[in-house]
Amino acid sequence: MQEVNFGIIGSGTVGGGVLKAIQRNGPLMSSRLGVRLTLLKVAVKNKAKTRPVPVPASLMCTRWEEVVRDPRIHVVIEAVGGTKTAKAIVMKSLASGKVVVTANKALISAHGEEIFEAAQRYGVNFYYEAAVGGGIPIIKVLREGLVGNRINRIYGIVNGTCNYILTRMKLEGLEFDEVLKDAQRLGYAEAEPSLDVDGDDAMHKTGILASLAHGFWVNPKQIHMEGIRAISRMDIQFAERLGYTIKLLGIVKKLEKTSGPGRRRKGFVPVQVSVFPTLVPNSHVLASVNHEFNAIFMRGDVVGDTLYYGRGAGQDATASAVLSDLADAALDLKTGNMNRIPPFVPHEGEGTVLDIDEVVSRYYVRLSVVDRPGTLAKIATILGRSKIGISSVIQPEGHEGESVPLILMIHDASHAAMNRALTEIGRLPVIKAAPTMIRVETFD
């Protein structure tokens, strides 16, 4: 039987999970693959540390270079996180002719193009299934299962922390800060939660999905991103009354037509790539994806609508995806072809990310207004002047006092037009707080 040796660098959540899973299911995988998988080394920071998943002393080393330089090792699993050391590990491993497996979306987002180029140059592969959707094999589905499709739409709940917070805010009627504190206590959110709740993590993942779906590398700087800190319990409740659930969605939408002056380059297919809280109709499957679960909805031009659901984070889900990559690496080595499905294949040179100003959406707008005749007329005048159509106006009952909420549901309008109009509306003396604007998705 073919022998494939691998090493793990890092023994935290990801590394520990892979170690645990391979100890449990390594022999089963070997029999499925016809390849003997042997873990030769685990690089740790501190040998003396007590770990939830103990690393066998015979495998332990303290310098990552020992794994990368070991000529017996064919596959390196990078599990240190961050982008600096991780990049060094990846580049050195590729240069040494080793296949690399990682779950590190931040690394790919920051240095993907350079890494992919290096993998090609050195004739080895670089796998990153665990970087998006945790245990959901979404990279494989996108690159292989749906390879015969143009992916016209992707809507992803790809950050488990945000989904957990939004779910509890809805089900328990709590405010963001209350749930965040509890989520931190329970381990669903980091002590420093900004990478999750401000949207960066979802942005990294959405950028990877967009790049793979459309065959041009999406620069993270071009991805418009809004987190969930500004979502209030009130918005969740109003949305519910209107038949919607608020989810943080990564959206990748190939556009046929756009409004606006058309800043994008001629002949290039414009693609909306964005991350923001979105009102999802309760009848849509994504509205039912709750707690820490992730789900990615993809619409292909041949297959139609599909959805993939599972745990998007956590030690075990991540390990499942890493093992799937390890299996592909092992089969590459077994069959003697190290580049069967390269990490990234450009296939439509003509794609370009649509500027957020040109992105057209529907909107939910909540204003805090003085309850006085003529208020709505003033607001409607500004919107009308901007050619923004109001589809409905709701002044919820049961609110009294100096200011009351006023909900506007807005027809399709560009981000730029909405921004201008809301800035103007915000300056009206009858408006008592900064307007809240959340997009509404119809999944057309």
Instruction: Give me the residues that bind its own copies (CB under 8 A), please.
Output: 21-22, 24-25, 28-29, 31-34, 129, 135-137, 140-141, 143-150, 215, 285, 288, 300-311, 316-317, 319-324, 326-328, 331, 334-337, 340-341, 345, 347-348
The smaller minimum CB distance to its own copies, of residues 148 and 401, is found at 148
Closest among 8, 5, 1, 4 to 31, alpha carbons compared: 1
The smaller minimum CB distance to its own copies, of residues 157 and 379, is found at 157
Sequence letter at residue 274: S
The smaller minimum CB distance to its own copies, of residues 336 and 373, is found at 336
Cβ 100 to its own copies shortest distance, Å: 18
Cβ 129 to its own copies shortest distance, Å: 8
Cβ 167 to its own copies shortest distance, Å: 13
Give yes or no for a contact between 97 and 123, defined as CB atoms under 8 angstroms apart.
yes
Beta-sheet strand order (sheet of 99-102): 60-61, 35-43, 2-9, 75-78, 99-102, 126-127
What token pair was written down for 102? Answer: 């990682």
In three-state secondary structure terms, 77 is strand
The smaller minimum CB distance to its own copies, of residues 151 and 369, is found at 151
Give the chain's end-to-end CA distance (angstroms, integer): 51
C-alpha separations of 404 from 45, 134, 302, 370 in Å? 56, 42, 48, 6
Q: Is 92 a catalytic residue?
A: no
CA pseudo-torsion sign 85, 86, 91, 93? positive
Please provide the DSSP assignment of 52-80 as one string. Answer: SSPPPTTTEES-HHHHHH-TT--EEEE--
Cβ 300 to its own copies shortest distance, Å: 6
The smaller minimum CB distance to its own copies, of residues 270 and 300, is found at 300
Catalytic residue among 205, 247, 253, 254: 205
Phi, psi of 439 (to 5 degrees): -75, 155
Closest among 366, 365, 322 to 25, alpha carbons compared: 322
Q: What dihedral do alpha carbons 325, 328, 333, 336 form, nearest 10°?
A: -140
Residues with a catalytic annotation lie at 205
